[in-house]
Structure 1
Amino acid sequence: MPMPRNSRPSRGKGSRSTKIQSMENTRSDAVKAMESQEGNKEENSQAKKSPSSPQGVAKKRPAFGDLTNAHQNHPKQSKKVAVKDTAKKVLRNAVAHDVCKNSKKYGPKSLPEEEASVSSEPIVKEEAILVEEEEPSVEGSSAEEEPGPSKQMPTNETRKVEDDPYANNEYAKEIFTYMRKREEFFPISNYMVKQHDISKEMRAILVDWMVEVQENFELTHETLYLAVKLVDHYLMQVVCLRDKLQLIGSTAILIAAKFEERCPPCIDDFLYICDDAYQREEILRMEINILHTLKFDINIPIAYRFLRRFAKCAHVDMEVLTLSRFICELTLQEYDFVQERASKLAASSFFLALKMKNLGNWTPPLECYSGYQSTDLFSLVKRLNFLLTYQPQDKLKAVRTKYSHKIFFEVAKTPTLDMLELEEILKNSV
């Protein structure tokens, strides 16, 4: 029988109660999902949030462990595993007794499969091109402003500078003149004479470890050079105990990273690489102590910036610049070079690289923009060549291993110059 037009179909109690029950179940599921998400969020908040944090929970090592990169006998592994593993090396407590002995070698720890599959070649953020803003400026050069025998670049060099549409060279000259003047305010004395609990060898091991940290966190080389400078200037004014040396080094990297990096590592990262040998409060206190000791003046001229400047002036390729950087970075571990000016050290490293590649003499443009004549560099060039040729290669291998990689043109394998041969080359360069 047809239903009336205005009538509605009746709903039984069963269908109504079923719908209500379904709505309640849906609401209950949503509440559970939200609670689960909040629980996961709270759990994840305990983990490190920095994108540069080392992943994979490998077995940690005690503070002041072996930092000598002595794992050449281990089989080849993925680059990610190798880089992550090296950062977990820390200074060992017994280094004061015999820093030359490697009593224990640690093998690489396994990482999750998805992490090990990620390529992690050394990042060369600044190596793709030389810094265009450091293009030498030839406008307004005068004898009073630029030292050296040649006060103006040749016409062909000037044309190269002016034809470069990407060269922001308006302030390069003033910037590096200012940096040369600032070098006078940051001399480093022989501070080891008053350090009774640490030695030159301990400092070398610390810097070797800092190089590994720079690789692991993919920091710029400016950060590494500045961090080493901060360590030296702090130790020049404060007597340090050996158990605080690694704390000073890691805090110096943290300060330098805040000064140089776009995204510096967080404190948890440094607690991790120090194997929790220090507390968060200790790093914060050391950071304040270093900054107050240096009076917050940490814009210290470093050799790396001068190197890039000289390479830009000479219009050399990346391989020559990388070779000069390798030579200069070797000096970071050597206490005997800490008293050298950054600009002179950079000029000497670049001079030696040119000779090793047989690329000619120290040209007038280089004399103009470096402020050094070739004869001013001879003594330091000889010392650098001696370091490059006769430095022991069985320990503290972080720098040599780093520059043996293909991305750095394997410049660490470049044949060195014999000392007598170098003497003859320098005589002919006058």
Structure 2
Amino acid sequence: MPVARGTKAQSTKQPRASKAPSVTENVPPQKDEGCQAKRSPSSPQGGPKKRSAFGDITNAHKNQAVTGKKEGVKAPTNKATRAPTAPTVAKNNEINLKKSLKKTPPAEVPVEHEKDSVPEEPVQQVPVVEDIDKEQLGDPYANAEYAKEIFDYMREREDKFLLPDYMEKQPDISRDMRAILVDWMVEVQENFELNHETLYLAVKLVDHYLVEVASMRDKLQLIGSTAVLIASKFEERCPPCVDDFLYICDDAYKREELIAMETSILRTLNFDINIPIPYRFLRRFAKCARASMETLTLARFLCEMTLQEYDYVRERPSKLAASSLLLALIMKNLGGWTPTLEYYSGYCAQDLHPLVKRLNFLLTYQPCDKLKAVRTKYSHRVFFEVAKMTPMDMMKLEEKLKS
């Protein structure tokens, strides 16, 4: 129809009037609700989107000449072949569009959103885990991209270095002798200003060597000093020399004996001395908890107290570090075990409760008053005097662990 196409009603951006006669002849008039019933939330255009819904409605009116209830009743058969003018079609389409929008149930859109949100419900219930390495991704020396894999690998290596109850096989060494040796090694670490990793690794080397070799008590100090020498070479930038270790032993051993013991320890352990230690895990977990230096020092004190105790030899280093940090957080009223700590440590709070109670008992009742190297060390103000903190009451600790 050239007359309909040339009219100004095309500015309404509605369907062309030339298509109206054929549609009117073939399709009976229907109500607006029928148009809405044919809509499906699963349409390719996306039901919830406003622009897609607008397109669906206009396309539906393309194929149906819906002009309201009155027009459907009044339309005679002999007038059906007459093509309505373009202004009339445009006006009717505009009226029908407004009616259909008004008649659209307001509950349709929330229902569609509700259906969409069904698979998202479990996602909302999952606790948020913080990415603790993202801040150091730009530092090439931090290796933040591989930090998670490195500590997962260390967790796997824990199975290889689990210690048995070896003291029964030692004919001339007791638990008390081992405690005295470790107390002396703590003093050596302080005098030489060695890293804490060096101390922890040296104690591990002593334990793993005594698992394989039965030693006499007169060689125990030689084993301890040699273990500190090996750990220093592994951890320190500038390790002490052999003469320094001979000096701290008060020249009780000769240079040849120290070198021979170093060879014996390395061969016994097959030169595999990269043993997981609690201190590395402790620093990692403290980073997850955003713990302050004072809180970390308190956890270090709790963890270092276990070095002298033979009962903690068979504990996993990662679990010991996690329990020390959890007890420190409770003592400082800083909350409990967060989802981030659970994700990076691999332990839930219930897994740590028995060990936390044992650590608090160790802090409250020190077995031997003569072994004071660790307490004296952490009573200094450099270490925030954390050794002077009052231990938790066992009943209060039990309540906090349950809460």
Residues 206 and 224 in structure 2, CA contact (< 8 A), matched pair in contact too: yes
1:313-343 deviations in Å (ceiling 9; x for gaps): 1111100000000000000000000000000
**Change beyond 3 A, Cα 1:336–1:160:** closer
**Contact 2:132–2:288 (CA under 8 A) maintained in structure 1:** no
Hey, what does 1:169 align to over in structure 2? 144
Deviations 1:133-184 (A, max 9, x none): xxxxxxxxxxxxxxxxx98854xx4498348755641010010000000001
Q: 1:175 to 1:197 in 2, by over 3 A?
A: same
Residue type of the alignment partner of 1:401: T
2:196 aligns to what?
Answer: 221
Q: Which residue number in structure 2 is paired with residue 286 of structure 1?
A: 261
Decide whether the 8 Å contact of 1:152 with 1:368 is kept in 2.
Answer: no
Q: Does 1:298 align with 2:273?
A: yes
- The structure 2 residue matched to 1:397, chosen from 363, 372, 375, is 372
Percentage identity across paired residues of the two chains: 73
- Alignment: residue pair count: 277
For 1:319 and 1:281, locate their aligned partners in 2 and report how far apart those are by CA, in whole Å: 43
Paired with 1:151 and 1:187, the residues of 2 have a C-alpha distance of: 34
Task: Pick the aligned partner of 1:256 from 231, 234, 237.
Answer: 231
Two-structure CA RMSD over aligned residues (Å):
1.7
- The answer as to whether partners of 2:288 and 2:341 remain within 8 angstroms in 1 is yes
Letter of the aligned partner of 1:408 in structure 2?
F
Q: Secondary structure at the match of 2:145?
A: coil
- Alignment partner of 1:204 is 2:179: yes
| Partner deviation per Cα, 1:256-300 (whole Å, 9 max, x = no partner) | 000000010011001101011000000000000000000000000
Cα gap change, 1:294/1:152 in structure 2, threshold over 3 Å: closer, same or farther? farther
- TM-score, with length taken from structure 2: 0.67
Structure 1 residue 394: Cα displacement: 2.6
Aligned to 1:357: 332
Structure 2 match to 1:27: none
Q: Give the drift of 1:392.
A: 4.1
| C-alpha deviation, 1:414, in angstroms | 1.3
User: What do residues 168-222 of structure 1 show as CA deviations (whole Å, max 9, x unaligned)?
Assistant: 4101001000000000100100000011101000000000000000000000000
Q: Could you tell me which residue of structure 2 aligns to residue 187 of structure 1?
A: 162
CA distances 1:219-276 after superposition (whole Å, capped 9, x unpaired): 0000000000000000011001000000000000000000000010011001101011
Following superposition, the deviation at residue 424 of structure 1 comes to 1.3
Larger CA Rg, structure 1 vs 2: 2
- Alpha-carbon shift at residue 415 of structure 1 (Å): 1.4
Conserved? CA contact 1:303–1:346, under 8 Å: yes
Question: Residues 159, 189 of structure 1: CA spacing in aligned structure 2 closer, same or farther, 3 A cutoff?
Answer: closer
The alignment partner of 1:283 has SS state of: helix
1:15-414 matches, within 5 Å, as 153-154=128-129, 157-158=130-131, 161-162=134-135, 166=139, 168-392=143-367, 394-414=369-389
Moved over 2 A (4+): 150-154, 157-168
- Distance apart, 1:427 and its partner CA: 1.2
**Cα 1:231–1:151, aligned 2, differ >3 Å: closer, same or farther?**
farther
Higher helix share: 2
TM-score, normalised relative to structure 1? 0.62
Q: Which amino acid letter does the alignment assign opposite residue 220 of structure 1?
A: N
- Secondary structure in 2 matching 1:185: coil
- The answer for unaligned runs of 5 or more in structure 2 is 1-124
Which structure exhibits the higher relative contact order, with contacts defined as CA atoms closer than 8 Å and separated by 6 or more residues? 1
The answer to whether the 8 Å contact 1:250/1:270 transfers is yes
Structure 2 Cα separation of the partners of residues 207 and 331 of structure 1: 10
Question: Is the Cα contact below 8 Å between 2:278 and 2:317 reproduced in 1?
Answer: yes
Gaps (5+ residues) in structure 1? 1-149
CA contact (8 A) 1:224 1:253 kept: yes
Q: Does structure 1 conserve the Cα–Cα contact (< 8 Å) formed by 2:186 and 2:373?
A: yes
SS of equivalent to 1:170? helix
Contact 1:271 1:280 in 2 (8 A): yes
Deviation at 1:393, TM superposition (A): 6.2
Q: Deviations over 1:377-409 (max 9, x none)?
A: 011111100001111463100000000111111
Give the distance between the partners of 1:151 and 1:222, measured in 2 at CA: 36
- Give deviations 1:91-137, integer Å, cap 9, x for gaps: xxxxxxxxxxxxxxxxxxxxxxxxxxxxxxxxxxxxxxxxxxxxxxx
Question: Which stretch shows the higher mean deviation, 328-337 or 313-322?
Answer: 313-322
Secondary structure of 1:333 counterpart: coil
Q: Tell me which amino acid in the other structure corresponds to 1:333.
A: Q
**Counterpart in 1 of 2:38?**
none
Paired position in structure 2 for 1:418: 393
